[in-house]
Structure 1
Amino acid sequence: MTSPATPDSAFTNSSRDTEKIHVLDLFAGPGGLDVAAHFLGWESIGIEWDANACETRYSAGLPTIHADVRTMRTERFDELPDDINVLVGGPPCQTFSVAGNGAGRRALTEVESFIKRLVAREESSEEIDRELAALGDPRTALVLEPLRWVMAAIENGKPYEAIVLEQVPAVLPVWNAYKEVLESGVLPGRIKYRAECKVLHTEEYGVPQTRRRAVLIARLAEFGQVSLPQKTHKAFTRQKGEIAPAGLITFDEALREEAGHVEKPHSGRKEREPWVSMGEALRGTSRELGRPEPYVVVSNYGSGGDPKNRGRRTSDQPAFTVTGKISRNVVETPDGRPLPRFTIPEAGILQTFPANFPWGGRDQAQQVGNAVPPRFGVHLLAAALGLGEARVAEALDKMDEWPRISEEERERLRKIGCGDKDKCPTRPPHPPVAPLR
């Protein structure tokens, strides 16, 4: 096995990091983390099975392989570029989105036990696959895929230098289990990482919506300690007595969540900027639609256990968490007169995609809702690579405009992505019923 550290590593020569970073995005979706990598000046390639998301990616000029991540790992691993050194991704979260009920808690417990069994390597991978297939929901097993990719890369002699994973808050116990494994030296070759994981609030990184995500950031131990990204904007908290819509927390809850993770102020640290409102983010686009400010957005979801008690946000506040149902949000004037609902470009802007990002395929609202906000992604990737504030600011300053590509380039990427039709999925992948080779 070759050593993961080389003299020209991206971490040992910061002046060359732009040309040395090559990102692999598992479960890539329409490309939130790829867009972040692009604005940081890095190359990326995504693996995505959903044909609609692939169409968006081809239109955006994002290199893509239209495939199941498990098939790529077990049968096509050698087709990937051999200079990939950063792994990112967010496995499907539906199973864990219901972690508050019995099924969700059981799924989390099962996955944590499988993590320990996987790295122990005391039983065959095929046996673990059979048991995973028997869990019922095929998406549950996918949360193990990033770890299996980490192990596969090590076994192929090229460990990833950095890892970034993100998912719904309920997945934090899984990321904690990942952290324990990554830092313990039980991986093949006794490779060790430094890792941090926590639930972060995207409005504290300049995203104009209240979205909570469980993130894990890791880098090879020999490159030193890793830290979560520093918050740049203030938290959005509700006032005392206000009914809490989905995704919004009280000030006291925010303090409790920060317990054990208090940031110590030091001289020279900038004061956080105010959170970004949806009105500020959408101002130019909204005027084109003839939507005056102020306006009110009504949540699709009930609050306090009452489906009829829907939260409301005004245009001078951040949006609710952007989901695949954002196009159904009622938008109205303060006195209740209807206004145009959010368009796909507007929804994309609330996720911090450039206004001209070329959404393609069907189910575009779902694509938008599933994406990692690119601005948030810049902060995560920069933290994983240990980049300073200047590099982050430089990337964020470029995010207003997405480069257009030619139809020829789009077709070239589609041909590469789908290639052999026998390898191109036409339906959602399912766990194999027979042992994997």
Structure 2
Amino acid sequence: MIDEAAVDMVDLFGGPGGWDLAAQRLGLAVTGIELDHSACETRRAAGLGTIEGDGPADFPRATDLIGSPPCQTYPIGGKGAGRRALDAVLHFASQLAARKDIRSGLATLDDERTGLVLEPLRWVLEALDAGRPYRTVMLEQVPTVLPVWDAMARILRAEGYTVVTGRLNAEEHGVPQTRTRAVLVARRRDKAALPAPTHRRYSRSSAQNGGDLTLLPWVSMAQALGWGMTHRPALTVAVGTGAGGPDPSCVGGSGSRATLYGERDAGRWIADTRLKPADSLPAYRGGRKDMIRVSASDAATLQTFPQDHPFQGTRTKQYEQIGNAMPPLLAEAVIRGAMARELAARPSSQAA
């Protein structure tokens, strides 16, 4: 049972706990709602508050809402069901704002995951109508969802929130990868803000110790793992998907693999000496037998999860959880930027 009185935040799409770990570090109580059983097992093993299922849950005392809706239908590298349905999703958002039931409309979408991007808006509006509005709303998704966040921003401003949206580059917040995320932050009776960069932006034309000297250098893959590309962060950590389903053998999809091969051919890749030859040289796939592998543990490190985070399920399920998660370090930056006033007011024993 979840103690509702102890819940500050609700994470609508909890996954393995990227947002939740960040919230806990900052002394915030959070419960995640998650449908995937393996992710729920990961959360439970990590001691994270978890509700398994996709039905609505009522948290009348929760003050803040966070979430990373499923992104599989929106990325440029995917099949594009979400991108094709973008106009419909924006229409459904306006209907939600008018307090209309959109369930029948969402059922017409090619992929049911596409419409889940509007679930946080439904929660926010229901909380408003119940007289217990969330003071903070923090959402993230792939960059192609930014038009949806912008539409939500207009709706929430009309409901009394201040809202900011934008793209955050993961390496600018200490995450050792070049992941870009679309983020929405909304605040009730306070100014919303996105976090300012703490690290330099990666650039092919700028050395790691170059650029803005008031910021920290970006963190390379070699620094994070002790191996890998020596002169840049990792590419986005994601599960490549092909005809055979999720491919957990690399960082990113085919484009990321091609970039890694280019790094290796240019002499900037350090082989992981911890791997056995059979592991580092898997069977031919796409005409190559030298596919670069990244272990689940390494992928989790690149996502800034603790080394001992207890990912559960099959190996493929573990990669899926890692690839789909919000990096805890990036989540912490968003929460700190959005909730600076509340965090500053907390006793030092509760603050990270």
Same fold (TM over 0.5): yes
Aligned to 2:52: 66
Listed one character per residue, the Cα deviations across residues 75-133 of structure 1 (whole Å, up to 9, x for unaligned) are xx34x4x3211100011112222499885543111111111111113xx41xx211110
> Match of 2:238, as an amino acid?
T
Structure 2 CA distance for aligned equivalents of residues 335 and 149 of structure 1: 47
Aligned to 1:324: 239
1:195 pairs with one of 163, 167, 180? 163
Aligned to 2:88: 110
Q: Which runs of 5+ in 2 are unaligned?
A: 207-211, 241-246, 251-256, 276-292
> Match of 2:340, as an amino acid?
G
Aligned to 1:207: 175
Aligned to 1:365: 319
Q: Which runs of 5+ in 1 are unaligned?
A: 1-18, 186-191, 241-264, 284-292, 296-313, 399-437
Aligned to 1:354: 306
- Given that 1:280 and 1:316 are in contact with CA atoms closer than 8 Å, whether structure 2 keeps it comes out as no
Q: 1:335 to 1:41 in 2, by over 3 A?
A: closer
Which residues in structure 2 correspond to 1:9-88 (within 5 Å)?
22-68=8-54, 71-72=55-56, 77-78=57-58, 80=59, 82-88=60-66
> Match of 1:54, as an amino acid?
C
SS in 2 for 1:33: helix
Aligned to 1:256: none
Displacement of 1:355 in angstroms is 1.1
- Given that 1:196 and 1:218 are in contact with CA atoms closer than 8 Å, whether structure 2 keeps it comes out as yes
Which residues in structure 2 correspond to 1:25-424 (within 5 Å)?
25-68=11-54, 71-72=55-56, 77-78=57-58, 80=59, 82-98=60-76, 104-121=82-99, 124-125=100-101, 128-185=102-159, 192-220=160-188, 222=189, 224-239=190-205, 271-283=214-226, 293=227, 295=228, 314-325=229-240, 327-329=248-250, 334=267, 339=272, 340=275, 341-362=293-314, 363-387=317-341
- Given that 1:99 and 1:105 are in contact with CA atoms closer than 8 Å, whether structure 2 keeps it comes out as no
Structure 1 CA distance for aligned equivalents of residues 29 and 78 of structure 2: 38
- TM-score normalised per structure 2: 0.78
- Given that 2:22 and 2:329 are in contact with CA atoms closer than 8 Å, whether structure 1 keeps it comes out as yes
Structure 1 CA distance for aligned equivalents of residues 203 and 84 of structure 2: 32
Q: Which structure would you say has the larger Rg?
A: 1
Residues matched between the structures, number: 301
Q: 1:150 to 1:356 in 2, by over 3 A?
A: same
- Given that 1:25 and 1:47 are in contact with CA atoms closer than 8 Å, whether structure 2 keeps it comes out as yes
Q: 1:169 to 1:338 in 2, by over 3 A?
A: same
- Given that 2:92 and 2:105 are in contact with CA atoms closer than 8 Å, whether structure 1 keeps it comes out as no
- Given that 2:83 and 2:144 are in contact with CA atoms closer than 8 Å, whether structure 1 keeps it comes out as no
> Match of 1:65, as an amino acid?
I
> Match of 1:382, as an amino acid?
R
> Match of 1:379, as an amino acid?
A
SS in 1 for 2:113: helix
Structure 2 CA distance for aligned equivalents of residues 96 and 24 of structure 1: 24
Displacement of 1:354 in angstroms is 1.1
SS in 2 for 1:143: helix
- Structure of greater relative contact order (alpha carbons < 8 Å, 6+ residues apart): 1
Q: 1:354 to 1:134 in 2, by over 3 A?
A: same
The answer to which structure has the higher helix fraction is: 1
Listed one character per residue, the Cα deviations across residues 302-355 of structure 1 (whole Å, up to 9, x for unaligned) are xxxxxxxxxxxx234211100124841378794989643322222111101111
- TM-score normalised per structure 1: 0.63
Structure 1 CA distance for aligned equivalents of residues 323 and 78 of structure 2: 21
Listed one character per residue, the Cα deviations across residues 344-379 of structure 1 (whole Å, up to 9, x for unaligned) are 222111101111111112210111001100000001
- Given that 2:177 and 2:234 are in contact with CA atoms closer than 8 Å, whether structure 1 keeps it comes out as yes
- Given that 1:96 and 1:108 are in contact with CA atoms closer than 8 Å, whether structure 2 keeps it comes out as no
SS in 1 for 2:86: helix
Structure 1 CA distance for aligned equivalents of residues 65 and 77 of structure 2: 26
Q: 1:277 to 1:382 in 2, by over 3 A?
A: same
SS in 2 for 1:93: coil
Deviates more, 1:207-216 or 1:360-369: 360-369
Structure 1 CA distance for aligned equivalents of residues 84 and 325 of structure 2: 26
> Match of 1:328, as an amino acid?
S
SS in 2 for 1:97: coil
